[in-house]
Amino acid sequence: MKFVITAGPTREPIDPVRFLSNRSSGKMGYAIASAAIEANHEVVLVSGPVNLPPPTGAKIVSVITSDEMHAAVDEAVRDCDVLVMCAAVSDYKPASVAEQKIKKRDEKFSLELIPARDILKSLPRSRNFFVVGFAAETNDVEEHARAKLATKNCDMMVANDLSDPNIGMESDENAVTIFSRDGESEKILRASKKIIACALVKKICANAKKVLTKKF
């Protein structure tokens, strides 16, 4: 199979030296890319700015902003079997970007934000590739994950609970719950992201083959 995997954060510029971003390290997405390669799949890794060595064998597409990631994904999914949206794409971006550095003043400063592109929602509803979304939540994890599974038209949603500071973002470990369209769910208990990635790739491939029967 040909995987397109997104990983890491995006950065939304405020001025030439500042940006909005998040705590995503890219470790989970990179682990999934490595696991897919080890399972003899072809991988295109669309990566935001991270401090990780690229997985050997992956085609790397480096991006910075949410718009750049949207364009890269739009291009890559034209020829893929599985899209894994593991990146932490910014939900909002500045309405405008200052051309010069904004100077500090002794007064309040307001920054107008507008919604960034929702890459999952922008995908065609009729398609011939399997879509896996990720939901990083701090509360009501199952409720939010199932809602995203439906509203974002995914085939599978992988949720992780960020209320535990020892796993998830920036950590080498994770614990996730997989939600499928048929209503089923499966937990993968706390383990290294490498182990979780291998389990996810197996689960994704098994489900993708059922959905994409005509291609295999």
Positions marked catalytic? 22
Residues 6 or more apart whose CB falls under 8 angstroms from that of 76 comprise 4, 44, 46, 61, 83
Task: Answer whether 14's CB lies under 8 Å from 179's CB.
Answer: no
The pair phi, psi for residue 37, each rounded to 5°, is -65, -40
Task: Write out the DSSP string of 95-136.
Answer: SS--SSPPPP-SS-----EEEPP-HHHHS-SS-SSEEEEEEE
Cα distance between residue 26 and residue 48, in whole Å: 8
* Residue spans of beta strands (DSSP E) within 51-107: 59-62, 82-85, 92-94
Residues 6 or more apart whose CB falls under 8 angstroms from that of 193 comprise 27, 28, 31, 171, 172, 173, 174
Pairing verdict, β 130-137 and 82-85? parallel
Q: Map residue 71 onto helix, strand or coil.
A: helix
Task: Answer whether 67's CB lies under 8 Å from 10's CB.
Answer: no
Cα distance between residue 22 and residue 168, in whole Å: 13
